[in-house]
Amino acid sequence: MLDWNEIASYGIEMAPAAFAVLAAVLVIWLVWRLVRGALRLVLGARESPADAPRPRKATERREPVLGPPAAASVPSRPVPDAADVLALKASIDALTRQIASLEKKLTVPPEAPAALSPSRTTGGEDASRISVTPPLSS
């Protein structure tokens, strides 16, 4: 029975041979690809492109035809009814309220700079000279 040390030493002994076999397989594969490419160029020149069938893409899909093709007309858009219009208006109003509440949360109150004492400012600045401009709302 083999223990782990013997298995590891056997793997170390066989590593160069395994690498050589893998390298040889890689070289054979590359040569085979080159030969196939050269044969395609030589044999592909004899056939005309019109005779060869066009390969289909894997993502290409043909839909089944259920009837005669429809007339080439612009499809008419359905007219929204009153319920759709009211639902759209309600959602726009809700978004407007949310935006207004977020703007209120993000603006700095104008009395905040006046609450600072001169001892909290850096460099001996006077708190009355600090100006905070709230963001412009459009």
* DSSP-assigned letter for residue 124: G
User: Which pLDDT tens digit goes with each residue over 71-119?
Assistant: 555 566 788 889 999 999 999 999 999 999 999 988 876 665 555 555 5
3-state secondary structure of 38: helix
User: Which pLDDT tens digit goes with each residue over 57-66?
Assistant: 667 777 777 7
Q: Is 113 exposed, middle or buried (0-12, 13-18, 19+ CB in 10 A)?
A: middle
Question: What is the spatial distance between Cα 51 and Cα 72, in angstroms, rounded to a whole number?
Answer: 33
pLDDT of res. 89: 95
* DSSP-assigned letter for residue 130: -
Residues counted in the chain: 138
Question: What is the spatial distance between Cα 96 and Cα 137, in angstroms, rounded to a whole number?
Answer: 13
3-state secondary structure of 22: helix
User: Which pLDDT tens digit goes with each residue over 19-44?
Assistant: 999 999 999 999 999 999 888 888 87
Nearest to 120 by CA among 48, 77, 112: 112
